[in-house]
Amino acid sequence: MKSQDNIIVYGTKWCPDSHRARLIFKKNDIDYTYIDIDENPEAVEIVLKINNGNRSVPTILFPDESILVEPSNRELKDKLAELTIAN
């Protein structure tokens, strides 16, 4: 698997956008850490802080300190391509 140090995906099992984002990581063979905010109260607080009080998922944190919230397929693929080029 391609390692993109410390990509963190905050999501939920029931959210189709979280599932879609995780599939993109899987199809591109990219490692990431998945945190289900329904099972982790600290993660909920992080997501709320990032999203001005909204439980918006997926919220994805990248090693370059950028953040994508509910990205489209294109936005996520473009970001992954950018990270691959940078490495």
The residue written with tokens 């899987």 in the block is 26
Q: pLDDT by residue (tens digit) across 4-63?
A: 568 999 999 999 999 999 999 999 999 999 999 999 999 999 999 999 999 999 999 999
8 A C-beta contact, residue 30 and residue 4: yes
Strands in the chain per DSSP E? 8-11, 33-36, 59-61, 67-69
Mean pLDDT of 72-87: 88
Q: Which CATH architecture has domain 8-73?
A: 3-Layer(aba) Sandwich (3.40)
Q: How far apart are CA 5 and CA 1, in angstroms?
A: 12
Q: How far apart are CA 38 and CA 44, in angstroms?
A: 7
Length of the chain: 87
pLDDT at 85 over 80: no
Provide the token pair at 73: 């397929």
